[in-house]
Structures are given as structure tokens and as C-alpha cells.
Structure 1
């Protein structure tokens, strides 16, 4: 694991961290830890190929935020809202995979209305949701390419031989300039 680099005085400089994850439980653990840093109005963009672990990470976020309902991939419904059970922000989980029209198509989801009071997590949001907020956390999950696990059906989200992932978290904008992403490695 690399330590986060210190952001420069310019608050638009990204602050980041890179973490190696070796199991689905560790990915969920990362999500739970990340939830402690999130607050209403936060936009989290998740990038990674199919099966990288984006939804597994989001499950952990949901657990950490204490939201209602099972967090599953919203691929076919595009977006799911999970209200808080603990007086915290709702989790709005969006899968933009099937959306090709960028922010114009995303506007139909009214994410700009949900954003101030919720934590909005968008899978496959690159090039589609950046205009929603200057302040966002970009999470990129790289999966180790290798042979399939002995039982890939056990957790298809982490289906390589050893389940290893490299997760890069980059905070963009002033919201993330002073965030302690390094706390995720402790």
C-alpha cells in the first residue's frame, strides 16, 4: 500500500491513495471505511471493468452508511435509492453502463436534486457525471488478470485466481483536499 501524497496548496489538486485488496470481504471493508469519510453531497465515481468489484465496494458503503435494502447492481433499473436507517444520508446507487448520452441522459435521473442530501455513487460514470460536482471522489479498481478461481460463482465480483485488486482513490476539488484518505489503510 502506498501512502497518500500531500495535496498542494491549490485545493483543486487531487489527493489520492492506492490500496491492494485481496478478497471480497476486504473490498466491502474498504467500502465500510470509506463510508465513514462520506457526507451528504458527496459524489463517488467508480471505474473498473466488469467483475472488478464496484458493486461489492458499494455494498460496503451501504453497510457503513447504515442504509435500508440490499445493495445490488442497478444495471437494469439504472438507479436505486437506499434511505438511511440511522438518520444519515441516503445512498443513491447509479449504474450508467447502459447510458450513452452523458450528462443530458443523466439529467433524467435528477441526480442534481438528490446530490445535496445524499451520497451518490455512480458506476461507469466517466464522461457522464463530472459536471454534477467539481468535488468528487474517483475510485478506479484494477483487477489482476489471471485464471478463474476454483469456484468463480462463489463471488463473481472477485473472480481472478487470487482475487487481488488495486484500488486507486483520487479526491478532486476542495472537498477532498483535506480528507484523510490515509485512514483507509489503518
Structure 2
């Protein structure tokens, strides 16, 4: 993965460990204020990718699906940004997203929202949109990463 510039990456992962490795590598691109929107069917590997992002960011775990608690904050163990891990699967719309006050913490944290497509884009014009699909015959995950917004189209400092 590269730093700065427009991000458009396609990766495959045959195992959970490979999915976590993609997440850890992705963490190297992330900084406070970044929004990551994860999409994909149940069992695609969204939470597994977030586990890798968390490892790369060196935040306190464990990282589990926040489906029933909706959002968890994982503080940094090294003085870096916290990870806000949210799950919009059970939310009914943008009003419920507003109730979570994710926009209040987005400036100082890396915010990752599973099932957030169509719901959280208003939180930031700058974001990474990640779609994970799984090949049912081989169990290989296809991870498509696409950036949106000016943060990803200018060189990093």
C-alpha cells in the first residue's frame, strides 16, 4: 500500500491471518480523523479486518463484533489514535447514527463502521470504503479498498 495519492487497492486473503495482515498494513495509512466504511455479507471478514487494523494501530482489545453494543472505543496503548469500532447492522437510519455521536470522536480517532454504507458517509467527506466479498467455493476473501475525498488525493506529510 502507498501513502498519499488516490487509494484504490484490490487484495485477496485466503485465511483469517491474511485478512488481519491486510488490516494491519492498512493501519499504516490511517491517522486521527479517518473514517473507514466496511461493507460485505455476513461472514465476509469485516471484523477480522478490523482486528488487523487494531493490531496495526496498537489499541487495547479484544476486538469483537460490536453488533449488540453498536460501538466500542479501543484506546491506544502507544499514544496513537483510539479506534472507534461501530456496527450499523441493527440501526434503522441516519437518525440513529446521529444518536451515537460518532462525529464527536471522529477528529481524534480512527473510526471504522461495519455495515455503514449508505448511513455514515455524512460523517466525513474523506473516507476509505472497503468492500469484502467471499468466494463460497474457495473461501477466499476479495478486499476492495477505494478512497473518497481530498485527504486521500494529496500527498501525505
- Smaller-chain TM-score range? over 0.9
Partner of residue 74, structure 1: 66
| Residues 8-37 of structure 1: per-residue CA shift (max 9 Å, x gap) | xxxxxx641111111110100011101111
Q: Following TM superposition, by how much is the alpha carbon of 1:178 offset from its aligned partner in structure 2, in angstroms?
A: 4.1
Verify: 1:131 aligned to 2:122, yes or no.
yes
Higher Rg of the two aligned structures: 1
Select which of 40, 54, 58 maps to 2:46: 54
Select which of 99, 114, 138 maps to 2:91: 99
Structure 2: give runs of 5+ residues left out of the alignment: none
Select which of 131, 142, 146 maps to 1:166: 142
Runs ≥4 in structure 1, deviation > 6 angstroms? none
* Larger proportion of helix: 1
Q: How many residues align?
A: 154
Partner of residue 41, structure 1: 33
Q: Distance in 2 between matches of 1:59 and 1:19?
A: 17
Q: Following TM superposition, by how much is the alpha carbon of 1:59 offset from its aligned partner in structure 2, in angstroms?
A: 0.3
- TM-score, normalised with respect to structure 2: 0.93
RMSD (Å), alpha carbons = 1.7
- TM-score, normalised with respect to structure 1: 0.79
Structure 1: give runs of 5+ residues left out of the alignment: 8-13, 147-161, 181-186
Q: Following TM superposition, by how much is the alpha carbon of 1:78 offset from its aligned partner in structure 2, in angstroms?
A: 0.2
Partner of residue 158, structure 1: none
After TM superposition, list the pairs within 5 Å mapping 1:5-24 onto structure 2.
15-24=7-16
